[in-house]
Amino acid sequence: MPRREERRVLIVDDDQDFAGSLAALLEMEGYVIAVAHDGAGAKALVEAMAAEAPGVALVDIRLGREDGVALATELGRIRPDLLVVMVTAYASVPTAIRALQAGAYDYVCKPFDPDDLLATLGRCFDRHALAHERAQAEELLRRSRRLEAIGRLSAGIAHDFNNLLAVVGGNLKLLQEEVLRDPPGDRAVMRELVADALGAVEEGIAASRQLLAVGRAQPLLPRLVDLDHVLDQVIHQANAALGAGITLDRQVAREPCHAIVDARQLEASLLNLMLNARDALDGQGAIRVGAEPRELAPGAPVLLDDMPPGAYVALVVEDAGCGMAPDVVERAFHPFFSTKPAESGSGLGLATVYGFARQSGGNLVIESEPGAGTRVTLLLPAATRGA
């Protein structure tokens, strides 16, 4: 709750005698008072006292020829957290009600009982105190959620890199034993140990790249690419990786699709989505892939805040596999979240693809239902051939 010296009140009244008497009364009660006799003076005080702005403004509903209600609205625009209490005569209560409708917090009638005025001010500052406490509670909740997210992320990173370091350390220890033998150990064995250690290091480098992609901080080399050509290349690469039980149903675009993206990262993202579809099908079934133009109107659900409406291209990977429940879809882009066994993946796949999409100015959209399959759409800003 604010300390007494922080309880600031601005009095706005064209009657200088009344304003002076009211100021003296409130100062006796411990309030810090500022006085203005017209709208210009009131606005100047509020603007000049940005750091120590009054918490409450007592505004006369009639300021000579000025409209106190209009002034109250302007003061609220200048300082949204300022509570305005209208001071009115009994005859102008309907005007005071209009002021409440315009955003004033309360009103008091002249002549007023000092206790009634002090009670009204007390309610105003109680409201300020509650708003301050609520803001503090919300900030604590945000910090708690950030720490929880950082904790999950750190645990996932530590788990993956500890596994890789265990491989490197174990192979180096065995290599050391081979080297220290008299005579030295089998060269073929030592070469195999070195190869295993280097392989783990390469996996660590790949994991760090994935983390950069998740954080949208990976270095990209965007250029104009023909997405149909990229799809053909990825399908050629994927045929061996997907297994004999998977067929790829290539959808032909009704018109050429081009985007300015990092072709290598795009290929990796599409391959990732196809491997996820294979796992959803349990190695047996068809995966539909294709590229198509999309014109997204303002307010389209797939448009995020930093995505302007207009021409986009959609790369679609669709399967008729096990599908996902809504809560799984909601968490699918979270780093290290996975429904697969720990040995089957790091949980960075979809998070990496989502990071690439966002860094490229697009979005990744999942549509899925349990038992009804999954459709993943990678949206990227479209480019003309002459871009």
Q: How far is residue 13's CA from residue 39's CA, in Å, rounded to a whole number?
A: 9
Q: Is residue 53 one of the residues assigned to a domain?
A: yes
Mean pLDDT of the chain: 80
Beta bridge partners of 36: 12
pLDDT given for residue 385 in this prediction: 53
Statement to judge: residues 250 and 180 lie in one domain: no
Give the residue from 86, 112, 138 where a domain finishes: 112
Statement to judge: residues 230 and 314 lie in one domain: yes
Count of structural domains within the chain: 3
At 284, phi and psi to the nearest 5? Answer: -135, 120
Q: Is residue 333 one of the residues assigned to a domain?
A: yes
**What digits encode the pLDDT tens for the residues 83-131?**
888 888 765 667 767 777 777 888 888 777 888 888 888 888 888 888 8
Q: Is residue 131 one of the residues assigned to a domain?
A: no
For residue 340, pLDDT beyond 50? yes
pLDDT given for residue 1 in this prediction: 40
Closest CA to 285 of 274, 300, 296: 274
Q: Which two tokens stand for residue 26?
A: 């409130």
Check which CATH number belongs to the domain holding 247 and give it.
3.30.565.10
Contacts of 349 (CB under 8 A, 6+ apart): 272, 275, 276, 338
Query: Whole domain around residue 179: which residue ranges?
Result: 147-214
**What digits encode the pLDDT tens for the residues 223-249?**
899 998 889 888 887 877 788 888 888
pLDDT given for residue 126 in this prediction: 87
Radius of gyration of the chain (CA): 33
Contacts of 29 (CB under 8 A, 6+ apart): 118
Q: Is residue 11 one of the residues assigned to a domain?
A: yes
Min mean pLDDT across 191-195, 217-221, 263-267, 336-340 is at 336-340
Instruction: Tell me which of 283 and 91 has the higher pLDDT.
Output: 283
Statement to judge: residues 197 and 227 lie in one domain: no
Give the residue from 97, 112, 127 where a domain finishes: 112
Q: Is residue 127 one of the residues assigned to a domain?
A: no
Statement to judge: residues 279 and 316 lie in one domain: yes
Q: Is residue 324 one of the residues assigned to a domain?
A: yes
